C-alpha cells in the first residue's frame, strides 16, 4: 500500500441545486485515523465524500494528498482511493463471486475465498445478488475492503443494513486499515463503538 501522511481539504465550498452545502471547509485528515462526516439529513455528507472522491466538482477549494494537488495527481487517484457510495453498485443479476471478480479482477481465488468466509457469504458464492437479503448484498459490496490495498477509503453509510455481527466485523476491518497507515473517511448516522473517530461537522 502506498504511504501518505495527510489529505488536506482546503477552503472547500460545495453547491448543489443552487444550495450552499458547505462553505470554506478546511480539514487536515491524517493517515492512520478515521474521520466521520456528521450532519443532519441533507447537510451534504454524501456530496462532500463525492467531492473528495473526485466525482463532484467543488465550486471553490482544493484537495491535497500530502503536498500534491489532487487534480494534478488524478491519474494516480483511482489506484489509491476506494469509494463506496450510498448506491453501492452491486450488480444484482450477477452472482456474489462474479460481482467480486468485476471489482477485484486480480484477487486470488484464496483471497476471495477467505473474504467470503469472513463475511459469512461462502454458501452464497454462486447465488445471484438479487436473491440475497439487503444486509447480505451490503456485505458483497463491502467485500472489496477485504481485498483492497488502497490507502484511502471513502465510505458512504457503510454500516447501513448490517446486523450487530456485521457492524463489529466492519469496525475491525476499519481498525486494520488504520493500523496499516490507511485513511478512512465515512458517513454514518450511528456512533462507532470501537474506533475513536474525528468529526467533520456539516451544518444546514
Q: Check residue 19 for interaction with ligand ATP (CB under 6 A).
A: yes
Q: Check residue 200 for interaction with ligand ATP (CB under 6 A).
A: no
**Length of the chain in terms of residues written:** 204
Q: Check residue 21 for interaction with ligand ATP (CB under 6 A).
A: yes
Q: Check residue 47 for interaction with ligand ATP (CB under 6 A).
A: yes
Contacts of 74 (CB under 8 A, 6+ apart): 54
The distance of closest approach from Cβ of residue 101 to ligand ATP in the complex, given in angstroms and rounded to an integer, is 30
Tell me how crowded residue 120 is: count the other CB atoms within 10 A of its CB: 14
Contact 60, 12 (CB under 8 A): yes
The distance of closest approach from Cβ of residue 55 to ligand ATP in the complex, given in angstroms and rounded to an integer, is 11
Q: Check residue 42 for interaction with ligand ATP (CB under 6 A).
A: yes
The distance of closest approach from Cβ of residue 53 to ligand ATP in the complex, given in angstroms and rounded to an integer, is 12
Q: Check residue 17 for interaction with ligand ATP (CB under 6 A).
A: yes
- Which of 9, 22, 35, 45 is in the footprint of ligand ATP by CB under 6 A? 45
Selected range binding ligand ATP among 43-51, 63-71, 95-103, 143-151, rule: CB under 6 A: 43-51
Q: Check residue 84 for interaction with ligand ATP (CB under 6 A).
A: no
Contacts of 35 (CB under 8 A, 6+ apart): 27, 29, 183, 184, 185, 186, 197, 198, 199, 200
Selected range binding ligand ATP among 13-21, 104-112, 116-124, 139-147, rule: CB under 6 A: 13-21
The distance of closest approach from Cβ of residue 44 to ligand ATP in the complex, given in angstroms and rounded to an integer, is 4
| 70-74 LR contacts (CB < 8 Å, sep 24+) | none
- Which of 5, 13, 15, 16 is in the footprint of ligand ATP by CB under 6 A? 16
For 172-195, the DSSP string reads: HHHHHHHHTT-EEEEE-SS--SSS
The runs of H, that is alpha helices, within 40-124 are 45-53, 77-80, 96-103, 109-118
Task: Say how far apart CA 81 and CA 166 lie, in whole Å.
Answer: 23
Q: Which residues bind ligand ATP (CB under 6 A)?
A: 16-17, 19, 21, 39, 41-47
Amino acid at each position: 500500500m502506498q504511504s501518505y501522511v495527510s489529505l488536506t481539504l482546503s477552503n472547500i465550498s460545495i453547491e448543489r441545486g443552487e444550495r450552499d452545502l458547505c462553505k470554506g471547509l478546511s480539514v487536515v485528515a491524517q493517515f492512520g485515523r478515521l474521520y466521520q462526516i456528521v450532519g443532519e439529513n441533507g447537510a451534504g455528507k454524501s456530496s462532500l465524500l463525492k467531492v473528495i472522491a473526485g466525482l463532484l466538482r467543488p465550486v471553490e477549494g482544493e484537495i491535497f494528498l500530502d503536498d500534491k494537488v489532487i487534480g494534478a495527481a488524478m491519474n494516480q487517484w483511482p489506484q489509491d482511493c476506494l469509494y463506496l457510495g450510498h448506491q453501492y453498485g452491486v450488480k444484482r443479476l450477477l452472482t456474489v463471486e462474479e460481482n467480486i471478480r468485476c471489482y477485484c479482477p486480480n484477487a486470488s481465488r484464496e483471497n476471495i475465498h477467505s473474504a467470503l468466509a469472513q463475511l459469512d457469504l461462502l454458501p452464497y458464492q454462486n447465488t445471484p445478488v438479487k436473491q440475497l437479503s439487503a444486509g447480505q448484498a451490503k456485505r458483497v459490496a463491502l467485500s472489496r475492503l477485504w481485498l483492497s490495498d488502497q490507502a484511502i477509503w471513502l465510505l458512504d453509510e457503510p454500516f447501513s443494513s448490517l446486523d450487530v455481527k456485521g457492524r463489529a466485523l466492519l469496525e475491525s476491518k476499519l481498525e486494520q486499515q488504520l493500523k496499516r497507515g490507511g485513511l478512512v473517511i465515512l458517513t454514518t448516522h450511528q456512533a462507532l463503538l470501537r474506533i475513536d473517530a474525528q468529526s467533520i461537522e456539516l451544518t444546514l
